[in-house]
Amino acid sequence: MSTSVPGRPRLAQKRRPGTTPRDEVLDAAGELFTTRGYAATSTRKIAEAVGMRQPSLYHHFRTKDDILEALLSGTVAGPLRIADALARRPLSAPVRLHALCHGDAVQLWTSPWNLGILYLLPEVRTERFARFHQQRDALRLRYRALSQAVLDEAPAPPTGGYRADPADDTVFRLTETLPNLRADGLGHPDQPLRTADLALHTLGWPDNPATLHAPSAQALEQATSDATPPTD
């Protein structure tokens, strides 16, 4: 939970990226949680990393769990908005799925801190983070629906051919492998695009995924613009 009440004066000049003190807190927490560990990071350390007094941090987040929830929710809120924006456009299912998978993978792969790895924290499995799990489930179901739509448009595979069952949530799980690849120093610079291509392959899409790159990129750009929350 956060508020917009201004905090006390800073201890130092601005140190972190972000347009608001709240953004700076999230950036500092994202770095500390992913590099030092969640249990080892106190709100005092986060405040020090921002350059503010600890009581000032509580004007923006009441607890460390609130900070973690905001970071986790941020990893799925954007892709959810993109999925809904894509659904409003007259696009084929393969283009929609490719664009969603690519956009989701890009933010998991290129964000300043590897926030997706925080999904594995034991603390995140508790009821305290039910809201995040609801958002993540909503995104998972959008992936599942798009996967089914791709199968509905694709011809049946040859005898003995394989294609994933949407109920297995294969594409969603595939996208969520990127934080682990990133943590292990594996993958390629263009891993998000490779992941989106592989998503179509696992569903048995018969065409070369490269034919979707241009329409997918255009759809993602438009959907991202549509999905950008308004600023005050």
pLDDT tens digits for range 166-195: 889 999 999 999 999 999 999 999 999 999
pTM of the model: 0.89
Per the structure, the complete domain to which residue 173 belongs is given by: 74-227
Cβ neighbours of residue 121 closer than 8 Å, sequence gap 6 or more: 38, 68
Q: Do 120 and 180 fall into the same domain?
A: yes
Q: Do 188 and 95 fall into the same domain?
A: yes
Q: Do 136 and 190 fall into the same domain?
A: yes
Residue 209 structure tokens? 């995924």
CATH for 38:
1.10.10.60
Q: Do 53 and 80 fall into the same domain?
A: no
Q: Do 139 and 214 fall into the same domain?
A: yes
Q: For residue 3, name the pLDDT band (cuts at 50, 70, 90).
A: very low
Total domains in the fold of the chain: 2
**Domain-located, residue 143:** yes
Domain end call among 6, 38, 62:
62
Q: How far apart are CA 151 and CA 170, in angstroms?
A: 13
Residue type at position 118:
L
CA atoms within 13 A of residue 102's CA, in its CB half-sphere: 27
**Domain-located, residue 40:** yes
Cβ neighbours of residue 9 closer than 8 Å, sequence gap 6 or more: none
Q: How far apart are CA 229 and CA 78, in angstroms?
A: 9
How do residues 117-161 score in pLDDT, each as one tens digit?
999 999 999 999 999 999 999 999 999 999 999 998 877 766 556
Domain end call among 62, 93, 113:
62
Q: Do 35 and 147 fall into the same domain?
A: no
Q: Which long-range contacts (CB under 8 A, 24 or more apart) does 61-65 make?
A: 61/1, 61/2, 61/22, 61/25, 62/1, 64/29, 64/38, 65/123, 65/128, 65/129
Domain end call among 62, 85, 111:
62
Does residue 9 carry a pLDDT above 60?
no
Q: How far apart are CA 78 and CA 64, in angstroms?
A: 22
Average pLDDT on 207-222 reads 96
